[in-house]
A and B are shown apart, each in its own frame.
Chain A
């Protein structure tokens, strides 16, 4: 009798923890979605999503893109300096930590491939999704290419120098 009751309580508890986990995951997704919407709007309104802007950047015809990237780095660096100095935590109470991306040959070789693709398509991964959302149907081809490229890397990874 007692045992059954204890079992019931434990099932009840685990159900509660499960429900709490689902709620916190949904909350996380909602907050991520909001930041995504914010960034998508910024990408379009800054015109970083326009092929012409990227082309003119590589032609050194205008500083627009360089200034945006430079300002973005400066603001992000100041914010990270502040966050690290004050040991701030995320809204769900976890410490904020940046995990450094390591150096390997791919940083150079992959970096060059990426830059070449950026110059041709006029879009890095963020703008691809912003263009698609904005109704630029041709951007689905860029995304399809990017998926093929990702699969090519997945396939070649064991053979490529790292």
Chain B
């Protein structure tokens, strides 16, 4: 049992728990599971007097739970690596722990932030919550997540990933 928890979790166990996050958040907080709106929340809090409607028309008070949620995710990441892992977890490969790697993460991050907000959601809000609620635009979004990811991996892979 302890070994089971301390080792990486099998896909079926992980999948069940990922799926349960959706009803859990609805039941405990009345909120739809989704993470990328937290970027808008942080932006609206950092620049409350922005001239951009996307930030100044956003309801910071109503979205405050998103900031709490991602702080929780960070705390969970710390707990899992510090207390629930037999072996150290390798998040990024060695060639990402360099200056060039940092540039890749930053540029890739721009695509993540821009794309998720333009698409209206990310893997959590569209792929998990959206599809689970039979929302067809979320299925379209998920298909195009993979179109973009596959195109980069197979098309530019040799150039980006070395």
Contacts and interface: CB of A to CB of B under 8 A. Distances in A.
A147 to B, nearest CB: 6
B160 A120 contact: yes
Tell me whether chain B's interface is mostly helix, strand or loop, or mixed.
helix
Given A115-B146, A141-B102, A45 B9 contact: yes
Interface residues on A, range: 35 or more
Tell me whether chain A's interface is mostly helix, strand or loop, or mixed.
helix
Interface of B: 5, 8-9, 11-12, 14-33, 35-36, 38-40, 42-43, 50, 52-55, 64-65, 68-81, 84-85, 89-93, 96-97, 101-102, 104-138, 140-154, 160-161
Interface of A: 28-29, 31-52, 55, 58-59, 63-64, 67-80, 82-83, 88, 90-92, 94, 96, 98-104, 106-126, 128-136, 138-139, 141-155, 157-158, 160
30 contacts: A28-B29, A36-B68, A42-B17, A46-B8, A50-B91, A67-B15, A71-B15, A71-B16, A76-B19, A76-B129, A80-B23, A101-B125, A111-B115, A113-B118, A113-B119, A115-B151, A124-B112, A125-B36, A125-B116, A129-B71, A130-B77, A132-B74, A138-B96, A138-B101, A144-B106, A146-B110, A147-B42, A149-B117, A154-B54, A160-B118
